[in-house]
Amino acid sequence: VTTREASLKRGVNLEYFSLLWNAIETIVGLIAGLVSGSVALIGFALDSIVEASSATILLWRFRGEARGRPEEEVERRAIRMVAFAFYGLALFLAVRSVYDLITRARPEASALGIGLAIGSLIVMPLLAWKKRTLARELKSRALEADSMQTILCTYISAFLLVGLVANAAFGWWWADPVAALAIAVIAAREGRELLSEGEHQH
């Protein structure tokens, strides 16, 4: 087994872990959101499904190379697909923010929801850091972009937590949707940057 093969295998394992954590965010977030009637938590759960698409793309990319597809080709296609995953996340966050603002949805405090947000705040930065280190090793721009998705998930979890606490303490129900809107802008810019880099290379 060459070093590169071993690194690709580590990439596959990292992305499986990414999918697993996103599944936990989705399932626990939905349960906590439905029980407490919190639209913010339900939105958080649904956006984890969008985030999982980036991990799925990277799984396809690593396995493709491990099975002998040309590295340059799978990498280029993965970068494009991750760019669209960023656009998908941006669109989803924008729609949910506007919906929350129009309906004045309150992010009701829920112990389970707060526990989930804290869990993601601990796990996601570690995962992003591992992905970033491996991206440098593999010289994979696609994995570097995917690690940015993981960082955005950290921001989303942090703002969810702040939103839940701000509403409970001061009644600032708008804190979470306003923050989600800001993250939507970051995600859209990231997607645009990835696409323009791809064009410059060819």
Q: How far is the CB of 36 from Zn ion (least distance, A)?
A: 18
Residues 134-173 that bind Zn ion (CB under 5 A): 153
Contact assessment for residue 65 and residue 9, using Cβ atoms and an 8 Å cutoff: no
Candidates 20-28, 68-76, 169-177, 193-201 — which segment interacts with Zn ion by CB under 5 A? 20-28
Q: How far is the CB of 147 from Zn ion (least distance, A)?
A: 13
Residues 33-92 that bind Zn ion (CB under 5 A): 48, 51
Q: How far is the CB of 159 from Zn ion (least distance, A)?
A: 11
How far is it, in rounded angstroms, from Cα 133 to Cα 123?
16
For residue 182, how many other CB atoms are within 10 A of its CB?
13
Q: How far is the CB of 21 from Zn ion (least distance, A)?
A: 8
Q: How far is the CB of 174 from Zn ion (least distance, A)?
A: 21
Residue nearest to Zn ion as judged by C-beta position: 153
Between 66 and 188, name the residue whose CB sits nearer to Zn ion: 188
Candidates 25-33, 106-114, 128-136, 183-191 — which segment interacts with Zn ion by CB under 5 A? 25-33
Between 51 and 75, name the residue whose CB sits nearer to Zn ion: 51
* Residues engaged in binding Zn ion (CB under 5 A): 25, 48, 51, 153
